Amino acid sequence: METETITENQKVRVAKKLKKMFGHMDRREMEYCPIRDVMALASDKWSILIILYLGYFPILRFNQLKKKVYGISNKVLSERLKILEADGYLSRQMYPEVPIRVEYQLTTFGHSYLLKLIDLSEWVTTYSDQIIDNRKRFKKG
Amino acid sequence: METETITENQKVRVAKKLKKMFGHMDRREMEYCPIRDVMALASDKWSILIILYLGYFPILRFNQLKKKVYGISNKVLSERLKILEADGYLSRQMYPEVPIRVEYQLTTFGHSYLLKLIDLSEWVTTYSDQIIDNRKRFKKG
DNA sequence: CCGTATCCCGGACGATACTG
DNA sequence: CAGTATCGTCCGGGATACGG
């Protein structure tokens, strides 16, 4: 399992993108930072899992999500859902039946984010064995 | 600023990828989860910023990084660097001069990860205004 | 200069109980 | 069923000082 080497062409494009991004970050320095204030809220382990599961199962209810996202507590799940809803990644539909029913699903915007998240997750799952291995070798030597 | 709609073709590819990923995650359920155990360690706000800065400035010393990654403390920076080094994203080169000099840079592996991270960060910076806006409207209504 | 060591605090998180 | 409320815990993370 070998990581592809980076071509010069890629390097140039990367440099350009970074330049643009850092320009963006500098301009509003101290005001707000997209990475800290936006990305961090949707790229923690819980949020990622929630979004991926909603990508896989288009509609999920609260307790279904709770079962899928193993180990999450009521409180944290409810908090995360509220944040993700507020930021526009997912929608919440409540049916005032008895017992009550609430359904969550990704918005169009959330689907767009899902694509990016899948790319990243794919990369990570592909290389996770290698990373675990790196970790072990680092510990030893 | 409109989010592109998702084509049927994309949906199918997404479903396939997710199926593969979740299969991967289920198979080792309880043993370890790539998202939790690998991705989460390299996708928190500090790690992202460290890696992006090392993408922009190929070589950085400890205190240079500390200045760039605004607000990070000695302790956290040193912890994150150790994790990122252990997992293979970056290398640490020490020159036993007086005063000592230590240089950090991305490995080839780290560059490969950087590409994915840039994609995500680009998406986020592109839509961050919209997200902030979503957030405000949610608060009001 | 590059960190580690220490101390301390606030906030994140888990568990549980409870309500509409 | 879908959460909220409450409480206790724990640890991430900030500040400072110091050692190699």
Nucleotide nearest to A94 (CA to C1'): D2
How many CB pairs below 8 A link A and B? 181
Q: How many domains does chain A have?
A: 1
Distance CA A130, CA A128 (A): 5
* Residue B138 forms part of a structural domain: no
Kindly determine whether residue A125 and residue B34, on different chains, have CB atoms separated by under 8 Å. yes
* Residue B78 forms part of a structural domain: yes
**Can you give the pTM of this predicted structure?**
0.92
Instruction: For residue B121, give how far its alpha carbon lies from the nearest alpha carbon of chain A (Å).
Output: 7
* Residue A101 forms part of a structural domain: yes
Distance A141 CA to D19 C1' (A): 24
The CATH number of residue B87's host domain is: 1.10.10.10
B13, amino acid identity: R
H helical segments located in A57-99: 62-68, 74-86
The residue segments making up the domain with residue B122 are 31-128
Distance A76 CA to D6 C1' (A): 15
Q: Which of A119, A125, A135 sits opposite B24 (nearest CB)?
A: A125
Q: Which nucleotides of C are covered by protein (CB under 7 A)?
A: 1-7, 13-17, 20
Q: Which of A35, A52, A122 sits opposite B49 (nearest CB)?
A: A35
pLDDT value at position A21?
Answer: 85
Write out residues whose CB is closer than 7 A to strand C.
A 44, 46, 71-76, 79, 99-100; B 61-63, 74-75, 78, 81-82, 92, 94, 99-102, 104
End-to-end CA distance of chain A: 21
Write out residues whose CB is closer than 7 A to strand D.
A 61-64, 74-75, 78, 81-82, 92, 94, 99-104; B 44, 46, 71-76, 99-100
pLDDT value at position B4?
Answer: 61
Distance CA A82, CA A88 (A): 10
pLDDT value at position A1?
Answer: 45
Distance CA B134, CA B115 (A): 28
Kindly determine whether residue B87 and residue A135, on different chains, have CB atoms separated by under 8 Å. yes
pLDDT of residue A28 exceeding 80, the answer is no
Between A22 and B90, the higher pLDDT residue: B90
Q: Which of B35, B38, B118 sits opposite A14 (nearest CB)?
A: B118
Q: How many CB atoms lie within 10 A of CB A6?
A: 15
* Residue A94 forms part of a structural domain: yes
Q: Which helix (H) or strand (E) holds A118?
A: helix A108-140
Q: Which helix (H) or strand (E) holds B51?
A: helix B45-56
* Residue B3 forms part of a structural domain: no
Which residues contact residue B13 at a Cβ distance below 8 angstroms, ignoring those fewer than 6 apart? none
pLDDT of residue A37 exceeding 70, the answer is yes
- pLDDT band of residue A31 (cuts 50, 70, 90) is low
What angle in degrees, to the nearest 10, is found between the helix axes of A74-86 and A45-56? Answer: 70
Kindly determine whether residue B14 and residue A117, on different chains, have CB atoms separated by under 8 Å. no
Phi, psi of A29 (to 5 degrees): -50, 140
* Residue A25 forms part of a structural domain: no
pLDDT of residue A29 exceeding 80, the answer is no
Distance CA A42, CA A87 (A): 9
* Residue A67 forms part of a structural domain: yes
pLDDT value at position B30?
Answer: 56
SS (H, E, C) B34-98: HHHHHHHHHCCHHHHHHHHHHHHCCCEEHHHHHHHCCCCCHHHHHHHHHHHHHCCCEEEEEECCC
- Per-residue confidence in pLDDT tens, chain B, 141 aa: 455 677 888 888 999 999 988 877 765 555 678 898 899 999 999 999 999 999 999 999 999 999 999 889 999 999 999 999 999 999 999 999 889 999 999 999 999 999 999 999 999 999 999 999 999 999 887
* Residue B137 forms part of a structural domain: no
